[in-house]
Structure 1
Amino acid sequence: MTVRKVSLRVVALLALVWSGAGAAQDATRSSAPRCTDPGFDAAIPDIVLQRVGRGFEDPVFVTGDRRGGLLVVEQSGLVRRLDPEQGVPGDVFLDIRDRVIAGGERGLLGLALHPRFLRDGRLYVNYTHRGDGLTTRVSEFVMTAAGSANLDSERVLLSFSQPYGNHNGGMVLFGPDGDLYVGTGDGGAGNDPRNNGQRLDTLLGKILRIRVSDPSADEPYEVPPGNPFIERSKARPEIYAYGLRNPWRFSIDWVTGRLYAGDVGQNAREEIDVVRKGGNYGWRIMEGTICTPGVEPDCERSGLEPPILDYDHTQGYSVTGGYVYRGTSIPALCGVYLYADFGSGRLWGLRYDGERVTRQRLLENTGLRIASFGEDDAGELYVVDYRGRIYRIAPKAQSSGS
């Protein structure tokens, strides 16, 4: 496979195609209408799941396409459009199945559109590369005038080996600061045998923050000057936070700026973290709020950031981090963080005031394999069922199609 840069001329032509006549900038979450937060002590309302898509194969993520539709990521390496009014897979947006090794916790795992996507057509993916050994790639592609990704435009930002086939992370997300956040697992196996979560000389077991460069730059990314370990000897400067086992899904609340992550546990606890710059979230010293069984029976907790919430394996066994609701369809849900468990199908909501969880409740026992949540351009939230369906979070009165 050949990977090469896209010429400035091509980028300029794509800018004309994707921006539309007279368009000055992308519609972003910062400019979308927002709900009015009822407060940290407000009750969490009932919801229903309204099916808006079916017929996908092993979907793992959904996001808005900046034009009012949705993009659905399939683990095999395919991204398809979805019009919620039509309800079935639409045109192909990206097809890198020949570059992806899929199965288990590997595959095409994440997708993020550049903040200026409508102008320059740049998008970013996180996938397990089909090659010698197991390698995670975070790559940039550029759209064609026909509305699909130019496969020859791939520019690899990050490439690093995975010692085992599980805990591959997968999330990529642009924050309100314009930087790209990347979630990486600890490298897999059990008990983090290489202690990658606590090591600062590896990208594994971390949330990374990088600044994507202009296509004309010599290097594909820069390290933001505010990253916490730039000056530390032998530490990887891309690291934003560490001590994570597998932060499969995370999101940033566009109102408060808080980064919420669901970190998948091992044999005892699942956890929700509010991730802060430079924070150590404990793995493999701790699993949730307890010392890791069989690894650190009498652990030292000083200097570790505790989760804002954790739960044991009677409630589920693989947490799926979600989003803080900022849409307008369910006013009483405003400010509620939604999360779920892939194993049990339970879906919860919580309110967090910056210091503690003030409200928390089980909203649905869905029976679904909730692989991910997603957010559209208006801040409405979706649930991805790994069995092939996409659901919109809706107020309980709208039960049609649920």
Structure 2
Amino acid sequence: MTPTTCGNGTREGSEECDDGNRIDGDGCSASCLLENASGLCAGVATGSGAHLASRLVVSGLDQPVHVAAPKLDPRRLFVVEQRGRIRILKDEVLLAGAFLDISAKVSCCQERGLLSIAFHPDFKANGRFFVYHTNSDGDLVIARYQVSADPDVADASSEQILLTIPHPTYGNHNGGQLAFGPDGYLYAGTGDGGGGGDPFENAQNSTVLLGKLLRLDVNVETPPYYVAPPSNPFVAPGDPGLDEIWAFGVRNPWRFSFDRVAGDLYIGDVGQDTWEEVDVQPAASTGGENYGWDVFEGRHCFEPDPAPSCPDPPDGFTLPVLEYAHGTACSITGGFVYRGCSMPDLRGTYFYSDYCEPFIRTFRGVSAGDAQNRADRTAELGPGAGHTFDHIVSFGEDARGELYIVDYDGELFQIVPGS
């Protein structure tokens, strides 16, 4: 007899998870449901995405900069606080202690600090997660940690440092995002090293790791606890480019994310004085894209202008699918493509914002290199009830694909159907 697949929408005994584990009893476990796309949204109330609202989840956080969740954990959100702590929201209650506190190892603040967390795709089994922070010297650190016997507390002594990237001169443009791609590799976004106009020309230099997207295989048990995948674009023998590099020509890719269904990579790259941009890398990419900085800022020549080094048309460069001029804006906050349960008609829509002008805008789809179906959702998402969006520093995604807004002033909001 073939067991019923968990996630078929019917709660039955003796069901089987996608990984082959049997669930006996009166129905599927929460993690089993989450493993199967058809069961992901079981029991979740749905509404229309035609009108949106925001709901305050928690306040009183200390300079939150990032929110993430393990893929099979619908009950918990992990909140990264810039000074060096990671907190847990469990069933929307902020736990008293820290999941991890590495404040003593972190330089803070302004653009430095503990900047993001990423959970191994097999986190449920191996308990491994990765953090990105600046150390006491201002250098960029990617480190691996392990959960302790208590699932709500990390083992702080389990630290294994994968990479320390020198960042000696300026305190800004540190990048900061970690995320696992659909290929199971860990991606990291580094800034160009800071200062105005990339003074050391790092972003266009494939022999340094600054101003890049990195791609690492972290399923390695010996130092340095990673290898460069053989499919990375600069791994060929004799190629002077560093093996870890996946793409280059970015200024400060503060936040990027993968569309959990299509696999495309969306990059919010912070501009200089004039233009902010969103770059999209298709899931079928083989890497090696040059996103233009510091030859281009957005779709415009940056330095020098005009000159042969800033070609028209921009052959050899991948220009953004969307740009916007500063005005009162100053620093893009890249978000996520919505793939959640509560608003089915909103699926496939990308959300983004800006740190200085806390609008919330969206687009859906890309055609001929240009973002389509653009909309401004700021007015309907305004939190009300005495709350405001002050500095939207990040978006977050929970295990079911629902989206959250991280306000640097200490609040976390969820995007929900409006009335």
| TM-aligned CA deviation for residue 48 of structure 1 | 1.2
Measure, in 2, the Cα distance between the counterparts of 1:242 and 1:309: 18
Given that 2:68 and 2:78 are in contact with CA atoms closer than 8 Å, whether structure 1 keeps it comes out as yes
Structure 2 gap ranges (5+): 1-20, 24-28, 42-47, 383-388
Q: Is 1:324 the counterpart of 2:315 in the alignment? A: no
Residue deviations 1:100-119, cap 9 Å, x none? 01111000001001111111
Task: State the number of aligned residues.
Answer: 365
CA distance in 1, matches of 2:400, 2:354: 25
**Shift of residue 85 of structure 1?**
3.6
CA distance in 2 between partners of 1:378 and 1:284 (Å): 38
| Correspondence 1:208-247 to 2 at 5 A | 208-215=214-221, 217-231=222-236, 233-247=239-253
* Aligned twin of 2:405: 383
Secondary structure (helix, strand or coil) at the match of 2:203 reads helix
Partner amino acid for 2:243? P
SS in 2 for 1:118: helix
Instruction: Confirm whether residue 335 of structure 1 aligns to residue 339 of structure 2.
Output: no
1:148-297 to 2 correspondences below 5 Å: 148-162=153-167, 163-215=169-221, 217-231=222-236, 233-275=239-281, 276=285, 277-292=287-302, 295-297=304-306
Q: Kindly tell me: are residues 90 and 186 of structure 1, through their superposed partners in 2, closer, same or farther at Cα, counting changes over 3 Å?
A: same
Q: Identify the match of residue 145 of structure 2 among 141, 144, 150.
A: 141
Q: Distance in 2 between matches of 1:354 and 1:140?
A: 38
State the shift of 1:164 in Å: 1.3
Bigger RCO (CA 8 Å, 6+ sep): 1
Counterpart for residue 7 of structure 1 = none
Give the ranges of 4+ consecutive aligned residues of structure 1 lying more than 6 Å apart after TM superposition.
Answer: 21-30
* Contact 1:183 1:247 (C-alpha < 8 Å) held by counterparts: yes
SS at match of 2:133: strand
**Is this contact kept in 1: 2:161–2:224, CA < 8 A?**
no
- Larger Rg belongs to: 2
Shift of 1:218: 4.5
Unaligned runs of 5+ in 1: 1-20, 36-42, 398-402
Which residue is equivalent to 1:94? 100
- For 1:25 and 1:334, how far apart are their aligned partners in 2? 22
CA RMSD of aligned residues (A): 2.3
Residue of structure 2 in register with 1:59 after alignment: 64
Deviations 1:239-259 (A, max 9, x none): 111000000000001211100
Matches of 2:78 and 2:265, distance apart in 1? 22
Shift in Å, 1:171: 0.3
Shift of 1:354: 5.4
Amino acid at match of 1:322: G
Alpha carbons of 1:309 and 1:95: their partners in 2 closer, same or farther (altered >3 Å)?
A: same
2:70 aligned with 1:69: no
Q: Which moved more, 1:346-355 or 1:161-170?
A: 346-355
Q: Which residue of 2 aligns with 1:50?
A: 55
Over residues 57-86 of structure 1, what are the superposed CA-to-partner deviations in whole Å (9 max), with x where a residue is unaligned? 000001124432111000001000013543
Percent identity between the two aligned chains: 41
Shift of 1:186: 0.3
Q: 1:31–1:91: structure 2 CA closer, same or farther, 3 Å change rule? A: farther
Question: Cα distance 1:27–1:126, how it changes in 2: closer, same or farther (>3 A)?
Answer: farther
Going from structure 1 to structure 2, the CA distance change for 1:80 and 1:175 (only over 3 Å counts) comes to same
TM-score, length basis structure 2: 0.82
Q: Which amino acid aligns with 2:121?
A: P
Q: Deviations 1:295-328 (Å, cap 9, x if unpaired)?
A: 4444222211010000001261100000000001
SS, match of residue 52 in structure 1: strand
